[in-house]
Amino acid sequence: MDVVLQSRSSNSMAAEPEEEAELRRGPWTVDEDLTLINYIADHGEGRWNALARAAGLRRTGKSCRLRWLNYLRPDVKRGNFTADEQLLILDLHSRWGNRWSKIAQHLPGRTDNEIKNYWRTRVQKHAKQLNCDVGSATFKDAMRYLWMPHLVERIHAAAATAGGDPTMGDTSCASGVTSKAATATTYPDNNSPASAVTTSRSASSGSFTSELCGEEKNLQVHGSGEKTTSGGDWMQDADQEFWAMHMQIQPDDGGLFHVDHELSGWVQGFSDVGVSADNLWSLEDIWKMQ
């Protein structure tokens, strides 16, 4: 499993050839994780190459940084994306495209890597199911008129049933979803190993704001109390049903979807607030309709 790098790296971060030959690649071990966590707890992060050497890790600085940011950070949130997170990703991606780090800045506890993976594996899958390109107007139409309203519905339904407990916004985080790879490292409590060292793993509030909208809207959804039921499957039952239903819908010749079911009210709502298919949809449009 553990691979020893054999003079492979060629980038500028490479160390001396003698040292390079000892650099490790591949999945991190528990020992390496703990070493990195402990070192950062004592000395802080940054200066990754120096950090890697000082900590005695036979890893590149880049590798240490990535491991820390994407996995070991105490505030990193794991598990399924909540409906409100999905909604925000769709919205922000429509504005910024593949600016994953920028998008991640607006989803506390989520990493750019995670969002990127979500987009590539899940969103693009839906585009494929709809026989259109993820960047096409057709798919944007589908997201705007079908998916995003669906997510908003779910958010409100969850809020209604959860009774508005704002602390419940992060059920996916606490659910201990199995991270299958967790990359050769298994932790008894299913938490980030950082919790073993840093005592205060602050549960993020599950609240985020979209300051892009004209007026800042707090998108905290009171208890998107969805339960991540089946051990790690990213798509909740409601989503499964939703996509099973809409995969049957095909755009007309003009690439437009005809919505003739319960979501048609949403579409009417869009026109009521002056949103046309020519405009880029946004969360603001969605929330205007509330």
**Footprint of DNA (CB under 7 A):** 1, 8-13, 24-28, 46-51, 59, 61-63, 65-67, 70-71, 78, 98-102, 112-114, 116-118, 120-122, 125, 178-185, 231-232, 234-235
Of 180 and 278, nearer to DNA (C-beta) is: 180
Of 11 and 200, nearer to DNA (C-beta) is: 11
Of 134 and 256, nearer to DNA (C-beta) is: 134
Rounded Cα distance between 141 and 139, Å, is: 5
Q: 170: which 2 tokens?
A: 């992060």
Least CB distance from residue 228 to DNA, whole Å? 11
Give the closest residue to 212 by CA, choosing from 146, 281, 121.
281
Of 36 and 152, nearer to DNA (C-beta) is: 36
Could you give the 3-state DSSP secondary structure of residue 163? coil
Least CB distance from residue 282 to DNA, whole Å? 19
Of 97 and 163, nearer to DNA (C-beta) is: 97
Task: Indicate the angle between helix axes 237-246 and 148-162, nearest 10 degrees.
Answer: 150
Rounded Cα distance between 179 and 52, Å, is: 25
Least CB distance from residue 281 to DNA, whole Å? 21
**Which residue bears the tokens 């991606």?**
93
The helix or strand, by DSSP H or E, that contains position 210, with its residue range, turns out to be: strand 209-210
Q: Is the dihedral of CA 182, 183, 188, 193 positive or negative?
A: negative
Least CB distance from residue 153 to DNA, whole Å? 21
Least CB distance from residue 260 to DNA, whole Å? 27
Least CB distance from residue 185 to DNA, whole Å? 7
Residues 80, 236 contacting (CB under 8 angstroms): yes
Rounded Cα distance between 51 and 198, Å, is: 18
Of 67 and 144, nearer to DNA (C-beta) is: 67
